[in-house]
A and B are shown apart, each in its own frame.
Chain A
Amino acid sequence: MAQSTTKKKPVGAMIVMGIVSIALYATLLLKQDLINSTFAQGGWYALLPIITAFVFSFFHGSFTGNFWTVLGVEAARKKKEVK
């Protein structure tokens, strides 16, 4: 019997992460003046863009990964040689 290759698609996770991503981007654009003036102060405020980048990458990265999986775009099944 042929081996089943059907896997459960991470639709729920994609939706949740997608909503969080949209919320983050909406905040960034709606409060851009405040954010710009705060982040541009340098010094200890330099940590803010770094933290922002990590937070966005976590949520949006998870969303985009699930997005392609849900669409069926996945890595080739043959294993690459990594020697």
Chain B
Amino acid sequence: MHDIVTNYINLDAITILYLFGVGFVGGLVSGFIGSGGAFVLTPGMMSLGVPGLMAVASNMCHKFPKALVGAMKRFKYGQVDVKLGLVLGVSAEAGVLYGAGIQEKIKATFGDAGSNLYVSVAFVVILATVGGFVLYDAWKTYKSGNANTEEKAGKLALWIQSINIPGTMVYFKSINARVSILFTIPLGFATGMMAATIAVGGFVGVPAMIYVLGAPSLMASATELVIAFVMGLGGSLKYALHGMVDIRLAMIILAGSLFGIQLGAIGTTYVKPFLIKVVMGVIMVIVLFSRGLMVPVYLAQLGLIDKLGDGTVKLLKNSSFAIMMFALLLGAFIVLRAMWQGKQAEKLQQASGALEHGEI
């Protein structure tokens, strides 16, 4: 009933350090925006020669323990809506199972190149539409000078909250309103499907919680970690049943990402909420170019376009890799810089408070 996977990559010191480093930055971003490690980790593994499906499976197997650690950390800060996370997580699980089934069919029909192409195209489409919107919204907040004010639910969220369907209404503390689970089920399902396909369900889940349900960015990003845990656990089991998980890759990435996720979670206590959207949007938009460059390579492998020259393939692969690294480092830089500034501001505040106290 299951395939035995034999194409494991060799792990040398450089590869281990690379995975650890990518895991760290991915964890940092995940701890901060609730997801996002995967969109760099999956292509990161693929750039090492790991087949797309195994990269998705291994990423998922590092995601659920990481999400568990991150969710517990952010729960301490009062940012997690466990009920919303579990309600969305259960429907996300169904989406994961459905999405994984589609992935397996694609791999069986079109092989690794087909699977890689599907993952890359899904990356580009999701990152372009959702990432573009999130970035635009963050930019609007920044330009309006409302970055310091409390976030308000948008028109769509207020409309969703106003609809009363008897027998389906549930109160969520993050939204501070009752919402019909008939709205949360499709959102969770879509989140899960994306997670199984490109391993970044959070890029549907977090914006959905913010823009469709009306949750604040901080709580949405923290609650996403609960969803990531629930669906990551189920998804990993599903992939593991077919022997798709490379546990070495998953655990090495986990080694770095647990350092990162703790730091990213701590970072959320220092920043303005709109920065969550900035980091999410910026990275999504940059990474889409990285994956987009690889689409012609997979198309050529499948014979859908003319064969590319070796030089062209190499150039596309290297450019894709460089852009992805840039996205990674930029994301980490924004988070760490914001954290540093927040820490400095806190120190100043404490110093001035102590001074005032002394003067009285």
CB neighbours (8 Å) of B150 from chain A are 81
Q: Which of A43, A68, A81 contacts B262 (CB 8 A)?
A: A68
- Verify if B8 is at the interface (C-beta below 8 Å from A): yes
- Verify if B176 is at the interface (C-beta below 8 Å from A): yes
Binary interface profile of B, 228-249, with partner A (CB < 8 Å = 1, else 0)?
A: 0000010011001111011110
Interface of B is mostly: helix
Contact (Cβ within 8 A) B246 A57: no
CB neighbours (8 Å) of A73 from chain B are 263, 266
Q: Assuming the A-B contacts A28-B251, A29-B11, A49-B250, are A80 and B218 also in contact, with contact meaning beta carbons closer than 8 angstroms in the complex? A: yes
Contact (Cβ within 8 A) B342 A43: no
Q: How far is the CB of A27 from chain B (nearest CB, A)?
A: 10
Q: Which of B76, B254, B346 contacts A78 (CB 8 A)?
A: B346
Contact (Cβ within 8 A) B219 A65: no
CB neighbours (8 Å) of A78 from chain B are 269, 346
Contact (Cβ within 8 A) B258 A61: yes
With A and B bound together, what is the CA distance between A83 and B78 in angstroms? 9
Contact (Cβ within 8 A) A65 B65: no
Kindly identify, within residues 61 to 83 of chain A, every residue whose CB is under 8 Å from any CB belonging to chain B.
61, 63-65, 67-68, 73-83
Q: Which of A42, A63, A67, A74 contacts B243 (CB 8 A)?
A: A42
Q: Which of A57, A61, A80 contacts B79 (CB 8 A)?
A: A80
With A and B bound together, what is the CA distance between A54 and B236 in angstroms? 12
CB neighbours (8 Å) of A2 from chain B are 354, 357
CB neighbours (8 Å) of B66 from chain A are 57
Contact (Cβ within 8 A) B248 A35: yes
Q: Assuming the A-B contacts A49-B236, A49-B245, A53-B62, are A64 and B251 also in contact, with contact meaning beta carbons closer than 8 angstroms in the complex? A: no
30 A-B pairs with CB atoms under 8 Å apart are: A21-B255, A28-B247, A39-B240, A39-B243, A40-B4, A40-B5, A45-B243, A47-B237, A49-B236, A49-B240, A53-B61, A53-B62, A53-B254, A54-B65, A57-B69, A57-B254, A61-B65, A61-B68, A63-B258, A64-B69, A65-B69, A65-B73, A65-B262, A73-B263, A73-B266, A75-B269, A76-B270, A76-B346, A77-B346, A83-B173
Name the 3 nearest CB pairs between A and B, nearest first: A57-B65, A42-B2, A46-B240
